[in-house]
Structure 1
Amino acid sequence: MMNSLSRLRRLQAFPILIISGLSFIFIIGIRWTGALEYLELAAYDVFMRLTPGISSVHIPIVLIEISEKDIQQQGRWPLTDSTVAEILTKLTNCKPRAIGLDIFRDIPVPPGTRKLNAILKRNHHIITVMKFGDGGVAPPPVLRGTNQVGFNDIIMDSGGIVRRGLLFLDNGETVSYCFDLLLALIYLQKEGITARPDKTNPQYLRLGKSTIRPFEKNDGGYIRADARGYQYFLDFRGNGVPFPSYSLQDLLSGKVDPRSIQNKIVLVGVAAQSVKDVFYTPYSRGLSGDKQIPGIILHAHIVSQLLSLALGESSPIRTSGELQETLWILLWSLLGGFMGFRVRSPWLFSIFGTTGLLLLSLTTYLAFLQRWWIPSVPPAMTWLISAAIVTAYVSNREKKQRKTLMQLFSKHVSPEVAKSIWERRNEFFHGGRPRSQKMMVTVLFSDLKGFTSISENMEPQALIDWLNTYMESMADLVMEHGGVVDDYAGDGIKANFGVPVPRRTEDEIAQDAIKAVACAIAMGEKMEQLNRLWQEKGLPTGGTRIGIFTGPVVAGAVGSPQRLKYTTVGDTVNIAARLESYNKDLAKNSTWRILIGENTMKYLDNQFKTQLIGEANLKGKYRKINIYRVFSGEGTGSSEKTGGAER
């Protein structure tokens, strides 16, 4: 039995696995087209915004921002070389570790060009910018070919949001470093930190205490992204501007305390909106103009991240491999299928579905806090899709099962039995119909005594009404006692006790036998009540013979899908039928007579008054069986046979 149930559960689980697998394949296919990239990057942005920022106290970066007001005071843009020279002179006097000039100086802007060139050549800790993309912008002529020039190209995803940084570019002949990395390396020289290949994987960059793995085209939520150059994930320092900032006018007028700049990195750049050096970040929360940040602040974030990585204050954002991500998505698809299989109620589905999404979000967010970017959107979609489809599949299957079961049993069992049958349907239902199986059942046959002569003397409609009164009363008693009406044959009734859910213990089999005998006695007493009622109405009276036997049968559904019938067959059924028709003379002087076989008798535990009729060969049977007659009233055991009367 347990092996059969295990096999049945495996068969039920197979469609669930198929549905979950197809949902997984569907989402993987959609993801591979890039259709989910926008949502995955949006989820990444949410996690980035929810990540606590780093205190500005530990960020050795100062900004000199050139605002609209500064440009108006200078009366022109770009600034002249003499103004830039004055800026650099004042800053170098404050003894910073590095100065980053995020202003293009590809062509001279006199006056003051010689002075500016002299300052740039003399101070090797000043880093200027150039640009590769969009036609390119050359570095200052005086610094071409030196290590004081870094590119300031920014990688933007679709929608213009900056999420990745670019450390260097290698064209096979020369390696060009980014503006931010050069500034960080100058600062880190006093810490004894340089950029070098990782010992474990020489293709990776080792910067101080951190190894920065290069971005690959399918990392995280990206699908076939442009991964040229040495890219990595940016980790912003938090919302707002966590860096000390001064205006150009503050610096030129001497309002900047040199101690606020000493031993720090100073970034000089444009914050004026008219210059259009602005970018969207994960903190923008929208694509309106006021959500952008100036390039100087963006570079400050990048430099700050590189310093934190080198000093061990943070770790790079990492991604798992494509195989691990695929298995992660598959896991949630299977979990969704399992949830859909177990949960039926729409209310519970909503609760468990939402709980699953919250758990997924919490898991991926906690992983993000540990600097792991684990996909959340594809698992969420497979979770919901698998759960929804499996729920629909199981509900449809159960609807068909319920329809079949109701066709087979609803008219022949009590509501309590019907509920039990439905709750335990997996024990006997398979393939759209009850499974055929061998089980221990108590079978009851009853027949209406004298019906032939009665039918000859009544009008058709009166006869049918009279018969229906009897049949309905007897069927109700079968259902009240937990039995299942199997068949109506003319004036006879066949009922089974112990179907369709198999009995596993002797106690359960005994309870079925007791219920069958109790039902038979109730049927006899009901016959007496009907006779009194019919006598008052001037209708014929009748009697009933009942045979009961307990034993193994084969139970199952027979017939076409449109006309299924659940029945029992086997030797037990035949013996019960023979007991009903055995020695009809025993019923001559009484309204009802109940005969049971020895197999039923042994389960009654002396609960009924019985009489041993004798040992007999039933018609069609070679083996003799002991036959007992049951009487109303509580029993104390079986009386012995004495001339056919009870002693």
Structure 2
Amino acid sequence: MQRYWGWWRSQSANLMVIGVASLALSSGVAALVQLGLLEGLEQKAYDQMVRLRQATRSLPPDDRLLIVTVTEEDLETLAEFPLTDGTVARAINQLQQHEPVAIGLDMFRAIPKPPGRDALGQALQADNIVVIAQLANSTGGPGIPPPVESAPGQVSFNDVVVDADGKVRRALMIAEPTALPEHPYLFSFSLQLAMRYLATQDLMPTASPENPDYMQLGETTLWPLQSGSGGYARIDDNGYQVMLDYRDRVTPARTVTLQAVLNDQFDPAWVRGKVVLIGITAPSFKDLFYTPFTGGASDANHQMPGVILHGQMVSQWLDLALGDRPLMGLSHPWQEWLWCLGWALLGGTLAWYLHHPITLTASETGVFIAIAVSGYALFLTQGWVPIIAPALTVLGTSGVVLAYQAQQSFRQRQMMQVLLGQAASPEIARALWENRDRLIKSGKLPGQSMVATMLFTDLRGFSSLAEITPPEQLLEWLNHYLEAMTDEIQIHHGIVNKFTGDGLLAVFGVPIASTTPDEIAADAQAAVACALGMATRLQTINRERQAQHHPRLEMRVGIFTGPVVVGSVGGHQRMEYGIIGDSVNIASRLESVDKSRQPEPCRILIGQDTLDYVGDAFITEAWGDLVLKGRHAPLGVYRVIDRRTDPISPLT
């Protein structure tokens, strides 16, 4: 249970880092969204989804509509620009013969264009005629009024809402108030035409039961756009606006030319019971608009004429009322924040646990693809959520997590070297660091043969002391004792290879190999001098213990110089810097031989080989040739008493 609790605590710390990074980045990106800094990118992503959907979803032409286009060829044939009132009246009268539900004239006729003004005035009196006015011109000034011959109920506006990049993605349905005193509230040109058709289906706009301030067509509530929704951050949301859902990239319905209408060269069934729109599509008239298809359409279709654009809107309103197409829904700011937060948590988690660059790159790429696929899947169900914002959140969160891990790794590397220096030696830490390439490649340090001097220590009667000493106190004075011994070893340039409970193994001459006899002799002398220094420190510790009425400590030291192999010992999961060889065993046996002979608090025994290297540098006492445990050949054993004041060089 303890193991699982420790695992959970470590995972909780990881999750906290990921969570904090995700919260911070998602909140930061949400702020960027609301400031409008990502609006252009989100709209480009929206356009791409519109084009992709059009390529995979083909809706048939709307047979409830007919669009009469005034082409460049029509203008050249009639030699009229602009069209005269008489020509427009002839076209309307020709269409009226076939009983359309409504005729929408997408042309400004406030200024007379003789001949034929009286004929046009009479034609515009029909109840099914809808004419246009302009709310405001391109500079924000007064717009164009409707023809004076039109009844108030037949007047609409044809103003189009254009985004900052010049594209039309929204539709304005109701304008309030207007600059026209006699028309304070106007329906759009497309909505006026759609309502006339819906009236034949006994469908009229009503107040939504969900919000009486909102319009409902059929069973569909038209939720107006608000600033901050979807990919919009700071839009002009005056009037009643919704997203424009294009039926087709070219035209939503059948089209015929003005010449065909004037010459009665069309099927009357195309008009009977239908909504007819009349407008100029000739490029010279410049009634053209950029759309989401602009980026993917050919040069010939990169702009859409105004009358075609209004036809797209009429088709959408009819589909909404009849339940054939749902309204495009937009996410709210709080939903977008949660959307970004969820992806940030996923991206941050992957960055935390996947360390291999290829795996991490592939996974993060998969997240970006998943964001795009999820966003497009929601788009196909008429929902627009940001795509760029969550991608930036994932990228930012992953970067923060990786930066945090890099900083932690740097700190851990420093700590590792410090800890290795404390537990073993700074030399080992440096050796591991200098050989890091081989460690990373093979996972271990290769073995290296050398001659070194081993020093083993152990406390005499430690088990008896442990039996009568509380564990907390035992650990405290043991650490104090080992710290003193470790300091002495490092003073003499040895390394602590391992702790053995109440003892330790120190080595002199590694990891940088001593290759000459003088260097090996210096290592041996350093080891023996270190042991004498340990004896002095033990005296100090015992004085402190006696002052506290604690039992006196006694220790044994075994030293031997000989060949060893140093390198990594263990597997990939658990590894240490190992020192192996018979010389290590001999030093250990010297420490533990004849434990009953303890002439002084710190007993120091060395083997013949070590004595050969240290010579007369130290005062020694011969203990004879002893057979150590586990060995057959006897070994000359000597007890070190003190340093000689006038030593003789061992190699002269």
Check 1:523–1:294 CA distance in 2 against 1; reply closer, same or farther (3 A cut). Answer: same
Report matched runs for 1:178-577 at 5 Å.
Answer: 178-285=188-295, 291-406=302-417, 408-409=419-420, 411=428, 443=501, 445=504, 461-464=519-522, 473-474=563-564, 476=566, 480=569, 523-524=581-582, 544-545=589-590
Contact 2:565 2:581 survives alignment (8 Å): no
Report matched runs for 1:138-217 at 5 Å.
Answer: 138-144=145-151, 146-171=152-177, 174-217=184-227
In 2, the alpha carbon distance for the partners of 1:118 and 1:472 equals 122
Contact 1:445 1:547 survives alignment (8 Å): no
Q: CA deviation at 1:525?
A: 6.9
Match in the other structure for 2:547: none
In 1, the alpha carbon distance for the partners of 2:302 and 2:244 equals 18
Contact 1:198 1:206 survives alignment (8 Å): yes
Q: Find the residue that maps to 2:111 and give its secondary structure.
A: coil
Contact 1:105 1:139 survives alignment (8 Å): yes
Match in the other structure for 2:85: 81
Match in the other structure for 1:20: 22
In 2, the alpha carbon distance for the partners of 1:483 and 1:323 equals 47
Q: Which amino acid aligns with 1:354?
A: T
Q: Which amino acid aligns with 1:129?
A: I
Match in the other structure for 2:39: 37
In 2, the alpha carbon distance for the partners of 1:345 and 1:309 equals 51
Q: CA deviation at 1:189?
A: 1.2
Contact 1:45 1:283 survives alignment (8 Å): yes
Q: CA deviation at 1:345?
A: 2.4
In 2, the alpha carbon distance for the partners of 1:245 and 1:472 equals 102
Q: Which amino acid aligns with 2:132?
A: V
In 2, the alpha carbon distance for the partners of 1:286 and 1:57 equals 21
In 1, the alpha carbon distance for the partners of 2:272 and 2:562 equals 103
In 1, the alpha carbon distance for the partners of 2:604 and 2:98 equals 119
Contact 1:106 1:139 survives alignment (8 Å): yes
Q: CA deviation at 1:22?
A: 2.8
Check 1:183–1:120 CA distance in 2 against 1; reply closer, same or farther (3 A cut). Answer: same
In 1, the alpha carbon distance for the partners of 2:352 and 2:91 equals 70
Match in the other structure for 2:468: none
In 1, the alpha carbon distance for the partners of 2:363 and 2:411 equals 25
In 2, the alpha carbon distance for the partners of 1:482 and 1:192 equals 82
Q: Gaps spanning 5+ residues in structure 1: where?
A: 424-435, 449-457, 485-497, 501-515, 529-541, 549-577, 596-647
Q: CA deviation at 1:591?
A: 5.7
Match in the other structure for 1:124: 127
Match in the other structure for 1:554: none
Contact 1:131 1:151 survives alignment (8 Å): yes
In 2, the alpha carbon distance for the partners of 1:445 and 1:580 equals 15
Q: CA deviation at 1:313?
A: 0.5
Q: CA deviation at 1:55?
A: 2.5
Check 1:471–1:49 CA distance in 2 against 1; reply closer, same or farther (3 A cut). Answer: farther
In 1, the alpha carbon distance for the partners of 2:306 and 2:238 equals 22
Match in the other structure for 1:640: none
Report matched runs for 1:38-53 at 5 Å.
Answer: 38-52=40-54, 53=57
In 2, the alpha carbon distance for the partners of 1:156 and 1:12 equals 47
Contact 1:546 1:593 survives alignment (8 Å): no
Report matched runs for 1:596-607 at 5 Å.
Answer: none
Identity, in percent, stands at 29
Q: Find the residue that maps to 1:167 and give its secondary structure.
A: strand
- Provide the aligned length of Structure 1 versus Structure 2: 494
Contact 1:160 1:280 survives alignment (8 Å): yes
Contact 1:129 1:151 survives alignment (8 Å): yes
Q: CA deviation at 1:407?
A: 5.6
Of 42, 45, 66, the residue aligned with 2:70 is 66
Choose 283-292 or 87-96, whichever is displaced more: 283-292
In 2, the alpha carbon distance for the partners of 1:190 and 1:547 equals 110
Q: CA deviation at 1:95?
A: 1.7
State the Cα deviation string for residues 481-519 of structure 1 (Å, max 9, x = none): 6899xxxxxxxxxxxxx999xxxxxxxxxxxxxxx9xx9
Match in the other structure for 1:560: none
Q: CA deviation at 1:100?
A: 0.9
Q: CA deviation at 1:202?
A: 0.8
State the Cα deviation string for residues 31-68 of structure 1 (Å, max 9, x = none): 22211110011111111112245523444111111011
Q: Which amino acid aligns with 2:590?
A: R
Contact 2:71 2:258 survives alignment (8 Å): yes
In 2, the alpha carbon distance for the partners of 1:279 and 1:472 equals 91
Contact 1:37 1:223 survives alignment (8 Å): yes
Contact 1:547 1:580 survives alignment (8 Å): no
Contact 2:564 2:583 survives alignment (8 Å): no
State the Cα deviation string for residues 309-343 of structure 1 (Å, max 9, x = none): 11110000012322111121222222222222122
Q: CA deviation at 1:13?
A: 3.8
Contact 2:132 2:158 survives alignment (8 Å): yes
In 2, the alpha carbon distance for the partners of 1:104 and 1:17 equals 59
Q: Find the residue that maps to 2:278 and give its secondary structure.
A: strand
In 2, the alpha carbon distance for the partners of 1:28 and 1:248 equals 51
Q: CA deviation at 1:473?
A: 4.7
Contact 2:190 2:314 survives alignment (8 Å): yes
In 1, the alpha carbon distance for the partners of 2:592 and 2:264 equals 116
In 2, the alpha carbon distance for the partners of 1:329 and 1:257 equals 54
Choose 170-179 or 299-308, whichever is displaced more: 170-179
Check 1:462–1:96 CA distance in 2 against 1; reply closer, same or farther (3 A cut). Answer: closer
Q: Gaps spanning 5+ residues in structure 2: where?
A: 421-426, 445-478, 480-498, 508-515, 528-558, 594-600, 608-620, 632-652
In 1, the alpha carbon distance for the partners of 2:91 and 2:302 equals 29
Q: Find the residue that maps to 2:590 and give its secondary structure.
A: strand
Q: CA deviation at 1:258?
A: 1.0
Contact 1:527 1:591 survives alignment (8 Å): no
State the Cα deviation string for residues 389-419 of structure 1 (Å, max 9, x = none): 2112212322332343256459389999988
State the Cα deviation string for residues 347-402 of structure 1 (Å, max 9, x = none): 22221111000000111110011111111111110101110221122123223323
Contact 2:62 2:254 survives alignment (8 Å): no
Match in the other structure for 1:490: none
Q: Which amino acid aligns with 2:521?
A: L
Q: Find the residue that maps to 1:147 and give its secondary structure.
A: helix
Contact 1:446 1:580 survives alignment (8 Å): no
In 1, the alpha carbon distance for the partners of 2:217 and 2:588 equals 102
Of 105, 128, 136, the residue aligned with 1:133 is 136
Q: Find the residue that maps to 2:246 and give its secondary structure.
A: coil
Q: Which amino acid aligns with 1:221?
A: G
